[in-house]
């Protein structure tokens, strides 16, 4: 199959590129580098041993998107391209609506005009908001708690409407929980611009000496050690699920919405301790006020993905920390300027 990875230069897209290329797929990356570095392309070439087909493309430009699809045949699209910072989305909601929602609409227009009828979409556990109970199943009620989350929910809905209008169009909504870790080579990994919002890249930057100490947001949650509990999932397990979802769309010809998590809740303190062990570094921290909008505990029931895709997470917290640390230690400042 010839597969387009929109936003494929980003953290998760780059790892999915490796898995798909290893499975012998013909993979093309399109990105505008708004939150990624061109340096990832050379690293992907080192890992796969092949040149990486890349096209600059901004999904906000509908004309360019439609033109792109008219010139290039694809069998499927994996759509990673979005802005993803919850805090930033509260400050700049319109930019998030424009980039994520209009960008997705433009992508769907381009696909429709070119007759491309398979889509794997990067959704998020954020669509569950503050779930009534854990582990969370896919039929839990959906809630919006911030503009970023609204964009994910709207994107799922508009993809669903398109599926409803065309029995030949099939989509997989993959609801990621908390992706962490890196490819075992240490050549690609998460490289956030500025101060990391997410826990694992912050810990990595403390370990490598770029930040003094971690602030743990809240030590008084109703969890076993008082810190927030999440479902961290190794990015290589996550990447594999994209290849499995594409197979499902081809062979089963059904739509799909599945959680991608391990099913295990891990607290902030547990992750900090596991990282300290894996890296043999101290991770200084202080417990501070809760972060507004955070919830106590969210973790997945991943059994539907197991049943429908035959997928399950294989890598545990130790591998997540070891691989994240290898990437950070080998690349203390992230990707080199291309
Ligand atoms: P990322 O920012 O590393 O990757 C997204 C990529 O999309 C970047 O390379 C960026 O340059 C590109 N992009 C953004 N807007 C674009 C546009 N208008 N046109 C072309 N390219 C554009 O993020 P990631 O962590 O790899 O996440 C990938 C997807 O998974 C996103 O949709 C995100 O919302 C979703 N997701 C991420 C997480 C997470 O914690 N990382 C969790 C759940 C869901
Ligand atoms: C994890 C835990 C924090 C940073 C976010 C988005 C979600 C999804 C994944 C895209 C929480 C604590 C964090 C820090 C801390 N993204 N923490 N100190 O909030 O579960 O999910 O990313 O879809 O939509 O909301 O992930 O990594 O930010 O936080 O104590 O410096 O770590 O309070 O308990 P979160 P996170």
Count of helix runs (H) and strand runs (E) in the chain: 12, 13
**DSSP conformation class of 333:** T
Which tokens go with 187?
């050549």
Q: Which numbered atom of ligand 2 lies nearest the CA of 267?
A: 34
The residue extents of the domains of the chain are 2-330
pLDDT for the residue 95: 98
Which tokens go with 8?
């494929």
The residues lining ligand 2, judged by C-beta closer than 6 Å to any ligand atom, are: 84, 86, 124, 126, 178, 197-199, 202, 214-217, 228, 230, 268, 291, 294
10 Å CB burial of residue 136 (0-12, 13-18, 19+) is: buried
Contacts of 288 (CB under 8 A, 6+ apart): 215, 216, 217, 218
Radius of gyration of the chain (CA): 19
Give dist(CA 330, CA 327) in Å, integer. 5
Query: What's the 155 CA to ligand 2 centre distance in angstroms?
Result: 21
Q: Given 1.10.760.10, 3.10.20.30, 3.40.50.720, 3.30.530.20, which CATH number is that of 2-330?
A: 3.40.50.720
Q: Give the predicted TM-score (pTM) of the model.
A: 0.98
Q: Which residues of the chain have pLDDT under 70?
A: 338
Contact at 8 Å (CB) between 170 and 163? yes
**Among all residues, which ones are annotated catalytic?**
148
pLDDT for the residue 337: 80
Ligand 2, atom 33, residue with closest C-alpha: 217
Given the structure tokens 């992750």, which residue do they identify? 271
Contact at 8 Å (CB) between 6 and 31? yes
pLDDT for the residue 222: 97
Q: Is 129 in the pocket of ligand 1 (CB under 6 A)?
A: no
Q: Which numbered atom of ligand 1 lies nearest the CA of 81?
A: 7
pLDDT for the residue 338: 62
């Amino acid at each position: 199959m010839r597969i387009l990875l929109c936003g494929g230069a980003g953290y998760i897209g780059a790892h999915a590129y490796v898995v798909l290329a290893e499975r012998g797929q013909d993979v093309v990356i399109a990105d505008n580098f708004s939150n990624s570095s061109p340096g990832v392309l050379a690293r992907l070439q080192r890992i796969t041993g092949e040149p990486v087909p890349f096209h600059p493309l901004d999904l906000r430009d509908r004309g360019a998107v439609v033109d792109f699809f008219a010139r290039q045949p694809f069998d499927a699209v994996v759509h990673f391209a979005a802005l993803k910072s919850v805090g930033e989305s509260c400050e700049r909601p319109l930019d998030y609506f424009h980039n994520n929602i209009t960008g997705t609409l433009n992508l769907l227009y381009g696909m429709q005009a070119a007759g491309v009828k398979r889509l794997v979409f990067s959704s998020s556990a954020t669509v569950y908001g503050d779930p009534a109970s854990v582990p969370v199943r896919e039929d839990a009620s959906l809630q919006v708690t911030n503009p970023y989350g609204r964009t994910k929910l709207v994107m799922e809905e508009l993809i669903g409407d398109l599926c409803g209008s065309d029995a030949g169009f099939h989509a997989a909504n993959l609801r990621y929980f908390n992706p962490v870790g890196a490819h075992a080579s240490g050549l690609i990994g998460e490289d956030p611009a500025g101060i990391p919002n997410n826990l694992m890249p912050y810990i990595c930057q403390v370990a490598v000496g770029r930040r003094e100490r971690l602030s743990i947001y809240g030590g008084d949650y109703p969890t076993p050690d008082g810190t927030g509990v999440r479902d961290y999932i190794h990015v290589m397990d996550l990447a594999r699920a994209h290849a499995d979802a594409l197979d499902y769309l081809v062979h089963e010809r059904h739509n799909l919405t599945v959680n991608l998590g391990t099913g295990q809740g891990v607290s902030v303190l547990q992750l900090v301790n596991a990282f300290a062990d894996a890296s043999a570094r101290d991770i200084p921290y202080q417990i501070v006020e809760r972060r507004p909008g955070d919830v106590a505990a969210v973790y997945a029931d991943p059994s539907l993905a197991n049943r429908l895709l035959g997928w399950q997470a294989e890598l545990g917290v130790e591998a997540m920390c070891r691989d994240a640390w290898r990437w950070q230690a080998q690349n203390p400042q992230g990707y080199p300027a291309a």
